[in-house]
């Protein structure tokens, strides 16, 4: 019954529209033209959709297959997204042994399965976009070193753009080069060394409550429920101080808003993108707009203050923001306006520091504490090194002394190899091209699975799965068969601009902790690395810290 009623209603409606449209055509020929062109637009849209959703995936997959590159089959519109979600769900509750670093089955199970079936280079589908996984170091080097703009950053989508704007991470071409020239002076080693004191002071503030806790306990042992959370706060403090100097309080407010934007971005990351959806007044979209406005307003106020101070010849300041403004002023000097960056662009760079430099560095520290907590012999070696090069608790930490911490550097590199915060990066081909003998069509996403490549036994040796910092004793370029095998900070012109910053911050923090405490991972720790944008312990890292010299 229902269906019959529905059908008749529909046909009635159809005939009504029919009639009215005839009437309109009679009354106004222009309206007929409008309708006709609408029909053309509709037909073109449908045709384009058919090409993108059906014909192209088929043709692309076939072209790759002829070159010997295979992969999981494309499914209409969703590609392999559903399988990926199912595979991730299936391993989401797995727990590893403390001594195991085999995180791939947990954090990228689809890649584990596909590498096993199809090899290091295979084709999969993110929705209807072809995604070529490139797990070969030579090919990756070609992708990351190519400066012609052939391998561009993929469009990150509205959520990530709200998060970062077009800062260094997502810009390309001339825009990127212009930004990089302005941002680079803030990250040179001589400038970073001046920030070491701030870094160590922030770390000192973090451990003071630990010391009090330990001193008040019977055995002199403090329990910190989640040292990862403490590092999240620490790195936020450090970036607020080093980026904004005396305005760090406002800077930290910006950071809180950015953190919420990051949650929003992640919660919608696996949705297939439909253009225009971001403009609907949904709860999430409204909140995103509100937060974005707050971030912008606060940062603008800080920058205006600096510009005013500079006008009064007080200088821009020695923090990241001041150094960027100074570089901008000299880039723009002599009428070279095209080399300078605008207010909005500098705001985007500030947001980028929070996003790119905060979680990543905090997780480096968390994983280093995990590895040192489970390898007491290395912990002791590092403690001796810190006491030798930097002195005891009373001695202030200087950049020069920190740069002499060779074993600490090796441990940090090994941490980044096994537990680097970024497990994969992507580039999109902007033209048809050839890579390592493989023809790749324009619009293909090339995926670089760093976490997998860091465990490649052909490159790192049979002990690739083990924690062995000694492999880095002759430097990062000699640790593996391939000179740029280490990809935690990426490689080439677009490698991480903050890597020295992160390493220095990590060394300062480890030095502060090592000279005061002996620590171990608490027995309740669950070893379940998880990826929420960055790689982190799923349930936090509880530790026990014993106060030394008491």
Footprint of ligand HEM on this chain (CB under 6 A)?
A: 168-169, 180, 352-353, 356-357, 360-361, 364, 420-422, 425, 488-490, 494, 496-498, 501-502
Smallest distance, ligand NAG to C-beta of residue 421, A: 28
Q: Identify the burial level of 63 via C-beta atoms within 10 angstroms of its C-beta, where 0-12 means exposed, 13-18 middle and 19 or more buried.
A: middle
Smallest distance, ligand HEM to C-beta of residue 452, A: 14
Asked if 430 is part of the footprint of ligand NAG (rule: CB under 6 A), the reply reads no
Smallest distance, ligand HEM to C-beta of residue 238, A: 9
Residue pair 123/73 in contact (Cβ under 8 Å)? The answer is no
Query: In sequence order, which residues have a C-beta less than 8 Å from that of residue 537 and are 6 or more positions away?
Result: 228, 366, 370, 525, 526, 527, 528, 529, 530
Smallest distance, ligand NAG to C-beta of residue 447, A: 18
Residue 425 binding result from ligand NAG, ligand HEM, none, given CB thresholds of 5 to 8 Å by partner type: ligand HEM
Q: Where are the alpha helices (DSSP H) in 312-436?
A: 320-332, 343-357, 359-374, 376-390, 399-402, 406-419
Please report, as residue ranges, which positions from 507 to 536 form the binding site for ligand NAG (by CB under 6 A).
none
Residue 542 binding result from ligand HEM, ligand NAG, none, given CB thresholds of 5 to 8 Å by partner type: none
Is residue 16 marked as binding? no
Residue 261 binding result from ligand HEM, ligand NAG, none, given CB thresholds of 5 to 8 Å by partner type: none
Residue 346 binding result from ligand NAG, ligand HEM, none, given CB thresholds of 5 to 8 Å by partner type: ligand NAG
Task: Report the residue from 87, 236, 340, 418 that binds ligand NAG according to the rule CB under 6 A.
Answer: 340
Q: Where are the alpha helices (DSSP H) in 245-319?
A: 248-267, 283-311
Q: Quick one: which H or E segment has residue 509?
A: helix 499-514
Task: Report the residue from 132, 134, 203, 346 that binds ligand NAG according to the rule CB under 6 A.
Answer: 346
**Closer Cβ to ligand HEM, 124 or 240, answer by number:** 240
Give ∠ CA 300-489-535 in degrees, rounded to 5.
85
The distance from CA 331 to its chain's CA centroid, rounded to whole angstroms, is 29
**Closer Cβ to ligand HEM, 364 or 402, answer by number:** 364
Distances (CA, A) of 185 to 321, 326, 516: 11, 9, 34
Q: Phi and psi of 158, rounded to 5°?
A: -60, -35
Smallest distance, ligand HEM to C-beta of residue 412, A: 8
Asked if 140 is part of the footprint of ligand NAG (rule: CB under 6 A), the reply reads no
The closest residue (CB) to ligand HEM is: 498
How far is the C-alpha of 33 from the C-alpha of 35, rounded, in Å? 5
Query: In sequence order, which residues have a C-beta less than 8 Å from that of residue 481 and are 6 or more positions away?
Result: 458, 459, 460
Asked if 443 is part of the footprint of ligand NAG (rule: CB under 6 A), the reply reads no
**Closer Cβ to ligand HEM, 57 or 322, answer by number:** 322
How far is the C-alpha of 285 from the C-alpha of 352, rounded, in Å? 21
Residue appearing with tokens 């707009």: 289
Smallest distance, ligand HEM to C-beta of residue 182, A: 11
Please report, as residue ranges, which positions from 284 to 313 form the binding site for ligand NAG (by CB under 6 A).
303, 307
**What's the sign of the alpha-carbon dihedral 42, 47, 48, 54?**
positive
Asked if 283 is part of the footprint of ligand NAG (rule: CB under 6 A), the reply reads no
Smallest distance, ligand NAG to C-beta of residue 474, A: 27
| Interacting residues toward ligand NAG by CB under 6 A | 145-148, 150, 303, 307, 325, 328-329, 332, 337, 340-343, 346, 433-434
Feature table: binding site: 496
- Binding-site residue set for heme: 496
């Amino acid at each position: 019954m229902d269906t019959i009623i529905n059908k008749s209603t529909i046909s009635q409606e159809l005939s009504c529209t029919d009639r009215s449209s005839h009437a309109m055509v009679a009354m106004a020929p222009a309206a007929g033209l409008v309708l006709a062109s609408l029909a053309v637009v509709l037909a073109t849209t449908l045709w384009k959709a058919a090409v993108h959703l059906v014909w192209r995936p088929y043709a692309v997959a076939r072209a790759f297959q002829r070159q010997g590159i295979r992969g999981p089959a494309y499914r209409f519109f969703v590609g392999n997204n559903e399988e990926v979600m199912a595979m991730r769900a299936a391993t989401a509750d797995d727990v590893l042994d403390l001594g195991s670093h085999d995180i791939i089955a947990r954090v990228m199970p689809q890649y584990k399965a596909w590498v096993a079936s199809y090899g290091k280079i295979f084709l999969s589908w993110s929705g209807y976009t072809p995604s070529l996984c490139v797990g070969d170091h030579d090919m990756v080097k070609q992708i990351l070193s190519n400066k012609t703009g052939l391998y561009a950053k993929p469009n990150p989508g509205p959520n990530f753009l709200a998060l970062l704007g077009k800062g260094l991470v997502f810009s390309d071409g001339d825009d990127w080069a212009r930004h990089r020239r302005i941002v680079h002076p803030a990250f040179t080693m001589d400038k970073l060394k001046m920030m070491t004191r701030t870094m160590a002071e922030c770390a000192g503030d973090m451990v003071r409550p630990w010391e009090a806790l330990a001193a008040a306990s019977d055995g002199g042992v403090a329990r910190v429920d989640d040292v990862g959370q403490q590092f999240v706060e620490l790195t936020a403090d450090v970036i607020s101080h080093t980026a904004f100097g005396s305005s760090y309080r406002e800077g930290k407010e910006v950071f809180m808003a950015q953190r919420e934007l990051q949650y929003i971005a992640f919660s919608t990351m696996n949705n297939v993108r439909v253009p225009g959806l971001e403009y609907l007044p949904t709860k999430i979209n409204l909140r995103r707009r509100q937060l974005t406005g707050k971030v912008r307003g606060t940062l603008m106020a800080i920058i205006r203050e600096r510009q005013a101070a500079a006008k009064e010849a007080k200088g821009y300041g020695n923090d990241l923001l001041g150094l960027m403004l100074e570089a901008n002023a000299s880039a723009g000097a002599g009428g070279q306006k095209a080399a300078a960056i605008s207010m909005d662009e500098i705001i985007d760079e500030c947001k980028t520091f929070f996003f790119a430099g905060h979680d990543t560095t905090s997780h480096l520290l968390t994983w280093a504490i995990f590895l040192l907590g489970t390898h007491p012999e290395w912990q002791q070696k590092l403690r001796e090194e810190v006491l030798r090069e930097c002195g005891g608790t009373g001695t202030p930490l200087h950049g020069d002394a920190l740069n002499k911490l060779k074993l600490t550097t090796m441990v940090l590199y090994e941490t980044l190899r096994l537990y680097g915060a970024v497990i994969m990066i992507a580039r999109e081909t902007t033209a048809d091209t050839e890579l390592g003998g493989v023809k790749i069509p324009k619009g293909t996403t090339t995926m670089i699975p760093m976490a997998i490549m860091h465990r490649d036994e052909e490159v790192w040796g049979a002990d690739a799965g083990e924690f062995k910092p000694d492999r880095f004793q002759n430097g990062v370029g000699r640790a593996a068969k391939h000179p740029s095998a280490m990809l935690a900070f990426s490689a080439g012109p677009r490698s991480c601009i903050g890597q020295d910053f992160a390493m220095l911050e990590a060394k300062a923090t480890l030095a502060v902790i090592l000279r005061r405490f002996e620590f171990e991972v608490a027995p309740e720790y669950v070893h379940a690395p998880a990826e929420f944008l960055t790689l982190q312990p799923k349930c936090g890292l509880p530790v026990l810290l014993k106060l030394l010299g008491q």
